[in-house]
Structure 1
Amino acid sequence: MVTNKKGEYFFLPPTGTYRVEAMKQGYAFPSTLLKGSPEYYFGKSFAIDSKGDVIDKHIPLDPAVETVSVRAFLLKKWRYRIGTLFAVVGPVSSLIFFIFVPKWWVAVLIVLHIVLFFVFRRLSSRHTVKQFGVVTDENGKSLSQVKVMLFNGPYKKLLQYYVTDMFGRYYFPPIVGEFIVKFEKDGFEMASKEIQISPLDTTKTVHLDASDKNELAWRGFSQALILCFPLA
């Protein structure tokens, strides 16, 4: 059975012993984050003793672990810069070639390269960031290569991450709602903080305490595949 948009499902099986499993891309079953909570189901077998009993257990799913890599982030960042450099090489080399071979077809080639350069710039243009957050240590020194991760507050799902530059700067697009910001760097204790951002906020200052702890919350998952196995 596949859950509806509210994450709801039910089975109406004959009497017997059963076990239920849940599957959804990007999530893991059984949950380890909520393990031990009596109101949730974690995959144990159970008995249906009478006809008409419904299986409608509450099943939590853990978000799949997403790898946050400093190397991958920097590679993605430099890929754009290297692509821009190669895009400039075409018009410049054509112009130099035209100096030594002043032919009409070389001039056409220059125009073509210039058009392609602006097309590339248009397609790969990125929003100019005017305001950054800055990560510093207790002495006020900027920290580079800090992994700054933004999680959706209620569901603990990783939304975006950023790696600070040499000035300790990081940036996220404008957001509104409840979030968790987590900071990680080798040689430092991990720090995280729950924040709430309203549409009226222009700047959000976050003072972190590495001892902060966050509670977990869950929701119903739509289009999750629920399997019910008879065991006896």
Structure 2
Amino acid sequence: MSGFGLNQCATDVDCGPTYNICSSMQCVIAQGIGADQCQKNEDCVFEISPESPPVLPLEIPPVIPPENSPVIPPTTPPALPPGNTGIINTSVKAIENITQTVNKQIQQTIQASAETAKVVTKNIQKAIETKQGSLITKTVSTVGAVAATAEVAIAIVFSPMEIFLFIFRLSGILLTSLGLKRRIKPWGVVYDSVTKQPLDPAYVVLNDPQGKVISSAITDIDGRYGFLEPSGTYQISVNKTNYVFPSQKLAGKINDELYNDLYFGENIDIEQGGETITKNIPMDPLRFDWNEFAKRDKKLMNFYSRADIALRRIFDLFFIVGFVVAIIAYFAAPYPYNLIILTVYLILLLLRTIGVKPKAYGRIFSSANGNPVSFAILRIVMPDSNVEVAHKVADKYGRYYCLVPKGKYFIKIEKKNDDGSYSLVYTSSVIDASKKGIIKNTFRI
């Protein structure tokens, strides 16, 4: 190939450092051979030395294009027509103006939002400083904190099994509380030790330790009785056809499935001030009693049903299982909530053992001086027929104990005069005893 263009040469001196060998009048690259070995372009500067051996030219075969191949002319970038440079400059300036306008609008919007936020913050602060706002804020924040704490506690502390046991233990506490409520009554019951059915009529006698009769009562259809006595020591004896007292089947027990605070003939000590005697008294059957069978068959009792026994057994089962689970949970994972649950169960166990006596009596006071009206007579009258169904005598402290059948009544109160006679001084409005079967109101006459 004949040399042409910038790389045309006659000798190697005409070639540059890159195309450093003149071959066939064309400068070509000679890869590092001998003295021409190089690491970079600067190493390829050709120098002629008279002592250097002659450099043989590198013969490179000429490149002959194929016949009929199209000749591609060299391309050059098109030139911009006159006047286009001004258009570009104008476009750039327009874009800069738009950008500046948008920036100004964004800054103005941000500034306006900041001013609005300041105003809203001041208004909120003023609202919070009011009593209503403070209350709402505290309530919302407290609820939020409790909810967040509960969420974290459940997520971190409680596993699914612990959540189940927690719910189970709470259910046990709830059912046990309901069981205690159903178990606690403001009266005593004489009942069959086998069937748990109340007995009537049973003759209940309250004696002093020497055997002197202090008071007596006949149980109603629900086996109920009660005495309100001053401080002292007492004993109870019970008589009922086809039954024997004291019970040998339940001897030594404090409670059974349905009743607590059982009585078997021991002394009863009343502390100073006096209180009601409402022991539950089981009696063992000697023979079949047609009266009790007919009463159960006709469902005449108001405060007893056979379902009570089943419910009580369910309550007791939940209490026992829940108590055991509470003990195991506390020793396995002594978290505060496990300690609280165990403490609640211990309190419930104590209440089940010793029992809780609700207020079972009412009082009569003088409206003039507030003193108790001693030995007043209360007459319980049916409002429809004006028939007296019972009467009670208050003690020296103005207290009375009054069990009645379910229904509505009004009370007539007679005050004891200095000469020993009585005069009617008060008539109450109608009193509804349809649910509890006991009257224990406080009267001021």
TM-score when scaled to structure 1?
0.34
If asked which structure has higher relative contact order (CA below 8 Å, sep 6+), I would say: 1
Structure number with greater Rg is 2
TM-score when scaled to structure 2?
0.19
Structure having the larger proportion of residues in helix: 2
